[in-house]
Amino acid sequence: MENTFTKATDEEHKIKVESSLLYAIWKCSVARGGNEAKLEVRTAFVGQGADIEIIAKGDDYGKIEKKKDKIFNNRYEGSIAIPDDVLPGELVWFEVKLSKQKLKGSSNSIPAAATPILTRMGWDKKEARRGDVLRLQAELEQVADNAEAFVVIYEYDKDGTHDKIATIPTEVKNRKIDVKWEYEYHEDVDEIPTDEEMKKYGKKYNPPEYFFVVVIDGVTLGEEQESGILEFKDWIEIELKEEDGTPVEDKKISVILPDGKDINKTTDENGYIKIENIPPGKFEVNYSDEDTTN
């Protein structure tokens, strides 16, 4: 395909461009039986909505799947359902045809493999606080050592619209995954409902909750929250002292939380108060000098 234009630019020219198939590749390194294997095709000058045909095959299995679709912006992304009974180790590839443009080609070959089995997964803690370093662990079967994997952390939503928080690349070692993640509250605190809004609907503040999944060769394990739910816990500690270091006890303190809720507490004999299970974000502390106990 010619890609150099050398004619004058101060007048009109007609040029002829040729359609071409740039590449056809799998987007995974292994085709897992019983799952979808993602693929990508790139072309040049084939036109919007051009017809494309994908035929997936296996060395011993024969034709796996044939599908027809349309390609837009010279890029096609799709997937092929890999049969349960494909033999592990069998090479799988796909053919691409764009009949109108008289283009055809073949992808790279990848080996077939059995579907990974998750036997156990979980957090090393049930609650997280700012700065905590958590371990996320999983045990698997039917996965080769050094297989590439991703641990994906989501913020749990009761409506099912879970937000992706982090993706951690890793490898399987001795059929296990073991990664570390430093917890940090990342959301916009302006999105936290106020205490007034919560009361309007008869609700109370619920701390953020998280779960994680493991992704191997496009197969997602743990989507039913098998990891268990991790809760975020935040708190405020206040220690009130005189200039000489003497604790200020029995001091009434008003703390306005990030959601607008006003909490009133009285310091103990050490001038100390603690408020637990609060929304993240900035808070305001108010007290009066009138009732200071010396």
Quote the pTM value: 0.67
Given this model, what pLDDT does residue 292 score? Answer: 42
Return d(Cα 236, Cα 275) in angstroms, integer. 5
Given this model, what pLDDT does residue 143 score? Answer: 92
3-state secondary structure of 99: helix
- Which residues have C-beta within 8 Å of that of residue 231, sequence separation ≥ 6? 126, 127, 128, 207, 208, 209
- Contact at 8 Å (CB) between 230 and 210? yes
Given this model, what pLDDT does residue 81 score? Answer: 95
Return d(Cα 216, Cα 140) in angstroms, integer. 11
Provide the edge-to-edge strand list for the sheet that holds 176-182: 117-123, 133-141, 176-182
Given this model, what pLDDT does residue 280 score? Answer: 67
Given this model, what pLDDT does residue 141 score? Answer: 95
Contacts of the segment 263-267: beta carbons below 8 A, 24+ positions apart = 267/238, 267/240
Given this model, what pLDDT does residue 3 score? Answer: 57
Residues in the chain with pLDDT < 50? 1, 188-189, 291-294
Given this model, what pLDDT does residue 66 score? Answer: 96
- Which residues have C-beta within 8 Å of that of residue 11, sequence separation ≥ 6? none
Given this model, what pLDDT does residue 294 score? Answer: 36
3-state secondary structure of 165: strand
